Amino acid sequence: MSDQLGNWLDQTRHLIGPQVVKVAGYDVAVELTYPMLARAFLPVLGRLNDHGPGRIIAGLAGIPGGGKSTFAAVLQKIADLVLPGQLATVGIDGWHYPNAVLDARTTRDPQGNLIPLRQRKGGPESYDIDAMLADLQRLREARTAVSLPAYDRTLHEPVADALTVGPDVRIVLFEGNYVLGGVAGVPAWDQVAAVLAPRMYLVADRAAAEQQTIARHIRGGLTPEQARDKYDRNDRLNTDLIEATAGRADLTISLDPPSLWP
């Protein structure tokens, strides 16, 4: 372990144990272990901190329910101690089209049938990628504070100007499903991926992520049967798309067992 990571470990060791972080409007309980801190979170933060001069805009991808938003929230809590004011985490779900737009537009299901775009909410075509790219460009310029949208799972809607990234923030972590690019049928995601470096992928157990996603739908107001149907019609398709992009990552993160590679 480098001197830097050793110093950071001393500053954050007290976080080992139960923690609560805010994720998309909800309090989420996590259990931070020593191996997670020493072999995953701190090495990721070290890689980001040392990536290069100027503002770093990194990407973190992973499957639905795989924990990427929670990972980003924990990383933010750690960075607030060791790199205060230098890291901001941003979820791409803030660039979802509003529900009214999703209801008004259509797309096609895997069988070619025309369906409301809202049935594919969370799919790669349900995001305002042009607006996202414009905001990424403003973040790269980094001369003034940038206001960004965020997604609130209690409202099930994006909220405009919910997050502000100040000009002194050195590292912006963009987390979301498709930030590695390589998404079949939606090449605009490659433009997003081209802005981000390094690009990371969080490994997750697919079965556990499925159950987490279904539980999240139930928490959002669906019945267990509706939640299962939504997973099968939508989230399963998104999971397949995202897993196919994992090889595009510069770095791969595992929390079980905790590690960072290549």
CATH number at residue 171: 3.40.50.300
Determine the structural domain holding residue 63 and report its residue range: 53-248
**Is residue 254 in some structural domain?**
no
Q: How many domains are contained in the chain? A: 1
- pLDDT, residue 259, reads 96
**Is residue 23 in some structural domain?**
no
- pLDDT, residue 24, reads 77
- pLDDT, residue 47, reads 97
**Is residue 79 in some structural domain?**
yes
**Is residue 70 in some structural domain?**
yes
In this prediction the pTM is 0.96
- pLDDT, residue 65, reads 96
- Give mean pLDDT in consecutive 10-residue pieces for the chain, a chain of 262 residues: 93 97 88 97 97 94 97 98 98 97 96 96 97 97 93 91 96 98 95 98 98 94 96 97 97 97 92
Closest CA to 176 of 232, 102, 238, 250: 238
- pLDDT, residue 230, reads 96
- pLDDT, residue 94, reads 96
**Is residue 12 in some structural domain?**
no
**Is residue 135 in some structural domain?**
yes
| Cα separation, 108 vs 128, whole angstroms | 18
